[in-house]
Structure 1
Amino acid sequence: MRKVDPARYRAKRRSIMDAAAPLFATHGPDGTSTAAIRRAAGVSSGALFHYFPSKRAVFVALLTDEEGDNADRITAARTHEDPWQALLDLVEHLAAPAGSPVAAGLVMEGLRQAQRDPELAEALETDSDTELEALTHLVTRAAREHRTEPVLGPRATAGWIQTLIGALFLRAATEPGFDAAAHVRDLRALLSRLLGCTTG
């Protein structure tokens, strides 16, 4: 029996997801056929279903952290020696995809689909809770080490940071010409000012 190379398997899954992303962002899951995904990815039907059991599975994988990308960044952030720098870097990582029209469109489509798909809604909530917990942890550490002086408690502060990140995706999806990259930089500066970052 031939062994599966995990790295190659993951890379192929990612290539299919990347090919499907603009289709879902433009047409939504209902308007995107399995055949369209197969053609965009350049794979046969058998190959597509080898990596994903259904069209919906591709869509869910794009919206959640099935590949573990965010999990890896969160783990690194939580153990970083400088919690303030780790907080800013994690915020930038979570907000950066807003610079992609495809990513912003996917997020909006995901929110629409979640209203009628409880399983998807639960998966998105789980990812959101994981991110919130990590942000709360970093705000707590930064305050304890006197790197920041938030007006609100750590969890409330983390919640507002999440809200600001979400607003970037909303604006990127609805405002033509929205410069998400510039606004991510502005978000870092805003957090430094609002949280009263210190250097001591």
Structure 2
Amino acid sequence: MARTVDPEKHRARRLLIIDAALTCFAESGYAGTSTAAICRRAGIGSGTFFHYFPTKQSLLLAILALGTDETRAWFAACPADGSPIAVVEAYLDHTSAQMADPRMPGFVRAVGAVVGEPEVDAALDEDTRVLQDGLEPWIVRAQEAGEVRTDLPAHDLTSWVLVVLDGFLGRLATDAAFTAEKQAGTLRDAVRRLLAVSEV
């Protein structure tokens, strides 16, 4: 008789492994993290690990996909009649809160070490696409409402917001004194200035 799988328990175990891997990658880097170390951190055996993830890279890809799915869900949950600029700023606050996780700088460095691997690059490209697709309609609406500048197309303006976010994340990964808690307000201010309607 086939073994019955409890979907909730399966999901919880999978997230436990993902969380343990995130910690290990942050502490030891991608190359320095073994599947055995992840198993020890998660309190599981290797058989359980490989039941959920066939390789270490597949686990890294799962972490990236989870982040992408969370971004997609965040925008899907935004009220359709919300203030466009308020949604953009709320996303900045949401990002700052996520980046405040002390593991994030190390995890970003770990991912950076495997950039160039086709599957990793594809996952990062998908994440960028989802974020662009999530933000751009709100930038369009903000332009229509006269809340942000219109001298650039919404697509380009959204891309520039992503450039600022990427720079913020990159700095967190390389400068221990630059923290999400300290810089969240400046991030919001930088994007606000980028989007501002020119008074000239």
Is 1:58 equivalent to 2:65 in the alignment? no
- Give unmatched runs, 5+ long, in structure 1: none
Cα distance per residue 1:87-112 (max 9 Å; x no partner): 11123323433323421221232123
Aligned residues: percent identity?
Answer: 31
CA distance in 1, matches of 2:4, 2:69: 22
Cα distance per residue 1:8-59 (max 9 Å; x no partner): 3222211111111121123222221111110000011122122222221111
Instruction: Note the C-alpha offset of 1:161.
Output: 0.9
Cα distance 1:82–1:9, how it changes in 2: closer, same or farther (>3 A)? farther
Q: How does 1:53-132 map to 2 (within 5 A)?
A: 53-65=54-66, 68-77=69-78, 79=80, 81-115=82-116, 117-132=117-132
Match of 2:11 in 1: 10
Contact 1:150–1:196 under 8 Å retained in 2: no
Count of aligned residue pairs for this structure pair? 196
Cα distance per residue 1:96-154 (max 9 Å; x no partner): 33323421221232123022x11110111011111112221110011112332344221
Cα distance 1:179–1:119, how it changes in 2: closer, same or farther (>3 A)? closer
CA distance in 2, matches of 1:67, 1:10: 17
Cα distance 1:187–1:67, how it changes in 2: closer, same or farther (>3 A)? closer
CA distance in 2, matches of 1:128, 1:82: 23
TM-score where L is the length of structure 2: 0.86
- Give unmatched runs, 5+ long, in structure 2: none
CA distance in 2, matches of 1:79, 1:6: 31
Instruction: Note the C-alpha offset of 1:194.
Output: 3.4
Instruction: Note the C-alpha offset of 1:80.
Output: 5.1
TM-score where L is the length of structure 1: 0.86
Aligned partner letter, 2:80: T
Cα root mean square deviation, aligned:
2.2
CA distance in 2, matches of 1:96, 1:152: 29
